[in-house]
Amino acid sequence: MKMATIDGVNKTTPEAAFTANDNDTPDRRLTPSPFPGDALAHIFRPERSAMTSGKARSKGWRLTFERRSASYVEPLMGWTGDDDPLATVELSFPTLRAAVRYAERQRVPYVVENATEPDLNQRSVRRRMKHAFSDETLERLGLGSLQESYDNAVAGAEARQDRRGEEGWSSPMAVVRDAGLSLDAKRSILIDWAWTEYLIDQATNEGMPENGRPSRLHEVELALLALERGNAAEKSAAAATAQAA
């Protein structure tokens, strides 16, 4: 089976998929996934059978799961048995974007297979989608001039070891009020939290509210506005103090 190449290496293990997805092991305390923690999804475009000229089931994208245990032959009847319920699961999506968004919402690591388009592995797809969402959100909130600042903040998240917003704070405004966080850390945490809530919002709109709660996207957006207003006020006060001195 063809695999998407990640950093020049074919990777198939769940740990490698988490690394490629730049997501680490997800937190499931607030939005538990119905899938087991060791599940690994494969996203691929079905190929037309060589035995037919028909194109049935060759459109769209499929999401299946890597087998977690080997099948076996039942000794009494000779039937083939299987202890892995995910082995028979196959989900269909109209586009690669829809399949990736589903895996993101479910916090399931994934690999993209049979990707004939250039640079179509899950890391590049996720980053492009998330970056576009960040830029659009900042523009809509009137914070478009800060796009580069937010890009730099997100780029430093790994070095700072930023936590996911829902892991460490009860609300987005709690991030804004956290005196122990730098401005860049607050920006990175909030825009990442907004992305998570956007995915939940999309799931609800698509009739798949699998996370069992409404989106808090509006709440995160208000926190982003409060953060930048407070930052602007601090800069103005500092400038006034310097001028008075």
Q: How many CB atoms neighbour CB 220 within 10 A?
A: 26
Helix (H, G, I), strand (E, B) or coil at 74: coil
Give me the pLDDT at residue 12, please: 45
Q: Which H or E run includes 72? A: strand 72-73
164's tokens? 């996911």
Give me the pLDDT at residue 130, please: 85
157's tokens? 């998240």
Q: How many CB atoms neighbour CB 136 within 10 A?
A: 12
Give me the pLDDT at residue 97, please: 86
Give me the pLDDT at residue 37, please: 80
98 burial (CB, 10 Å; 0-12 / 13-18 / 19+) is middle
pLDDT tens track of the chain, all 245 residues? 444 444 444 444 444 443 344 334 444 444 566 788 888 999 998 875 544 444 445 578 999 998 887 776 777 777 776 778 888 889 998 888 888 888 888 888 998 886 554 444 556 667 788 888 899 999 999 999 999 999 999 999 989 999 888 888 999 999 999 999 999 999 999 999 999 888 888 777 766 655 567 788 999 999 999 999 999 999 988 888 888 87
Q: How many CB atoms neighbour CB 140 within 10 A?
A: 10
Q: What is the pLDDT of residues 60-110, one digit of tens each?
A: 899 999 888 777 677 777 777 677 888 888 999 888 888 888 888 888 899
Q: What is the pTM of this model?
A: 0.54
Q: Is the dihedral of CA 195, 198, 200, 206 positive or negative?
A: negative
Helix (H, G, I), strand (E, B) or coil at 13: coil
Between CA 103 and CA 100 the distance in angstroms is 5
Give me the pLDDT at residue 7, please: 47
Q: Are strands 90-93 and 61-65 parallel, antiparallel or unpaired?
A: antiparallel
Q: Does residue 75 contact residue 36 with C-beta atoms inside 8 Å?
A: no
Give me the pLDDT at residue 208, please: 64
Q: Which residue reads 């799961």 in tokens?
A: 65
Contacts of 80 (CB under 8 A, 6+ apart): 71, 72, 73, 74
Q: Closest Cα to residue 47, out of 27, 35, 61?
A: 61
Q: How many CB atoms neighbour CB 82 within 10 A?
A: 14
Give me the pLDDT at residue 24, please: 41
Between CA 32 and CA 163 the distance in angstroms is 18
Give me the pLDDT at residue 182, please: 95
Each domain of the chain, given as residue ranges in start order, spans: 1-117, 141-235
Task: Give ∠ CA 19-106-137 in degrees, rounded to 5.
Answer: 85
Beta-ladder partners of 62: 44, 92
Q: What is the largest CA-CA distance in the chain?
A: 92
Between CA 190 and CA 187 the distance in angstroms is 5
Give me the pLDDT at residue 5, please: 44
